[in-house]
Chain A
Amino acid sequence: MKKDKKVTNNNSIFTLKNLIYLICVIAGYFVLTYLAEGDLLSRQSKSLIIPMGINIILAVSLSLTVGFLGELSLGHAGFMAIGGYTGALITLHMNLPKGIEFTIALIAGGIMAAIFGFLIGLPVLRLKGDYLAIVTLAFGEIIRSVLTSLKFTGGAQGLTKIPRYSNYTWVYIVMVLTVVLISNFVKSRHGRAIISVRENYIAAESIGIKVSKYKVMAFVIAAFFAGVAGVFYGHNLSILKPGDFDYNKSIEILVIVVLGGMGNIKGSIIAAVALTILPEMLRSVDEFRTLLYAVVLIAAMLFRSSGFKTKLEESGKLPKFMKSNKNNAK
């Protein structure tokens, strides 16, 4: 009964687990370099590498609001658009060395999106559930129509000739950083506060957690990383159109999060990779793409809200190191 007396091992950053993660990250980069530079993949497949990283950043950041805060947000593409346009305008109008310019663009894109995350977070505090979802949806659409009507963002044509700064190294580094930072965050004092708001906001308030503050915080952080992802997006395609950021894009990201399992970062990463590859494979049958999404969503729901990782865990097919250390006593 009392087999698990060990408290979560939080004593140091230098643990075996972290070392294994570090090795995986470095190995991952070498594999990526091989795939991107070698002859193994076709040109078309190689073009998926960067979107994959972008989708991981988007999914992991959205999982902060949807999974950990537990509020449905349908405006993630809006934050991405703000970041993308901000970053593109910076690199288009600045004449600095590539590295510096792009770093500034990434940070500025993130910050600008975070500011909008804060603004949308404020009114949204009074809303919950379905109502909040509708407001975030409307927000995304407002961003899109504002971008369409503004002069300096190029209207409906959008921005063109954005330098193609996004390469797999940049995206990989930022993606790893995003995953590490958000994973750290959710296992901290602030992360616990956000999860407790999801679990029971009345109880959270009763133990001294300022519910509104943490709701806004989750929105702001998620928006920041979505903005960063937007900067990569623009500097990968070299063009930005407002039409790219409609609610379909938001739903696309949401599907990744739901499929990966709410509040499950590893699951989101796997789902992001899978759902970046799948639609591209089905490009030849374009009209079935949406059908596929629908099927995937239904399948995900059948797998229950916790996603396919839990399912695998229960069936005993998941490798041991991937199992969560939570002891689910029956």
Chain B
Amino acid sequence: MSLLEVKNLGISFGGLRAVDDVNLSIEEGQLYGLIGPNGAGKTTVFNLLTGVYQPTTGTIKINGKNIVGKTPSEICQAGIARTFQNIRLFKKMTVLDNVKAAFHNEVQYNLATSFFRLPNYFKLEKEMDEKAMEILKVFDLDGEANYLANNLPYGKQRKLEIARALATNPKLLLLDEPAAGMNPNETAELMDTIRLVRDRYHITILLIEHDMKLVTGICEKILVLNFGTELASGTPEVVLNNPEVITAYLGE
């Protein structure tokens, strides 16, 4: 059984059919790419998968469990985490606190412990600190742990968003244009990090990206969207040589 099973997914905004009849099946451990021209509905698919929008038609199953109709926070607990195209960090919180905030459901203690700093508070906060530092180390952010997220350079902010998403302990990680605004060196580094993350945390990754070098470099399968519908899907070689994909997106 695949980890993520999407069938006939569609959403209409008034008369506009933003996403129509999209099918997607992602196996565990796969690195899946979602590409297409601007306005094709890629981010809308992400928003549907994470419960920001409710689909008009179709089903979304993770591990066989239907998640349509659930709130974003419930879907996060079901195992889907995401990053955003326009970075959405908690800017006035420290890098460390950004990650610790994401442990919200992983490490829990009650209100009384919060107010009175009962022994559990110190124990669990320490545990969180250690776990957070471990994740930050993977992204080479451990040196900036006490900086405000706002003060990180752009590339590191992107990384921190991935780190924060990872802290929720997801099965499926959705990356919305992780390499946007990065230079070729940063992109190459990011590719390594994405692979490392997949292998180390045994997670599945679905990513939207316009940088074809990144997509062909790491994605095992690709789905191409155009005007909200599937244009093609399959392995990178097949998809990128598809004449329709070339006319609609890649160009001659």
Q: Which residues of A contact B (CB under 8 A)?
A: 1-2, 4-8, 10-13, 181, 184-185, 188-193, 195-196, 199-200, 202-211, 325-330
Spot the interface stretch: B57-65, B71-79, B207-215. Answer: B71-79
Task: Say which residue of B91, B111, B113, B124 sits within 8 Å of A199 (CB atoms).
Answer: B91
| Interface membership of B93, Cβ < 8 A | yes
Q: Is the CB of A7 within 8 A of B90?
A: no
Q: Is the CB of A207 within 8 A of B115?
A: no
Interface size of B as a range: 35 or more
Q: Is the CB of B73 within 8 A of A211?
A: yes
Cα A329 to Cα B146 in complex, Å, equals 9
Q: Is the CB of B101 within 8 A of A193?
A: yes
> Shortest CB–CB separation between residue B120 and chain A, in angstroms?
11
Q: Which of B155-171 contact A (CB under 8 A)?
A: 164-165, 167-168
> Shortest CB–CB separation between residue B89 and chain A, in angstroms?
7
Task: Say which residue of B90, B151, B164 sits within 8 Å of A330 (CB atoms).
Answer: B151
Q: Is the CB of A207 within 8 A of B96?
A: no
What chain B residues lie within 8 Å of A210 (beta carbons)?
Answer: 71, 73
Q: Knowing that A10-B122, A189-B104, A195-B93 are A-B contacts, what are 19 other residue pairs whose CB atoms are under 8 Å apart, sorted by A's residue number? A: A4-B143, A4-B146, A7-B133, A181-B115, A188-B125, A189-B114, A199-B93, A200-B89, A202-B84, A203-B164, A206-B81, A206-B165, A207-B76, A208-B76, A209-B104, A210-B71, A329-B144, A329-B147, A330-B151
Q: Which of B61-109 contact A (CB under 8 A)?
A: 71-73, 76-77, 81-82, 84, 88-94, 96-97, 100-105, 107-109
Task: Say which residue of A185, A202, A327 sits within 8 Å of B114 (CB atoms).
Answer: A185
What chain A residues lie within 8 Å of B239 (beta carbons)?
Answer: none
Q: Is the CB of B126 within 8 A of A190?
A: no
Task: Say which residue of B81, B97, B124, B133 sits within 8 Å of A207 (CB atoms).
Answer: B81
Q: Is the CB of A188 within 8 A of B73?
A: no
> Shortest CB–CB separation between residue B101 and chain A, in angstroms?
5
User: For residue A182, which residue of chain B has the nearest CB?
Assistant: B115
Cα A209 to Cα B71 in complex, Å, equals 10
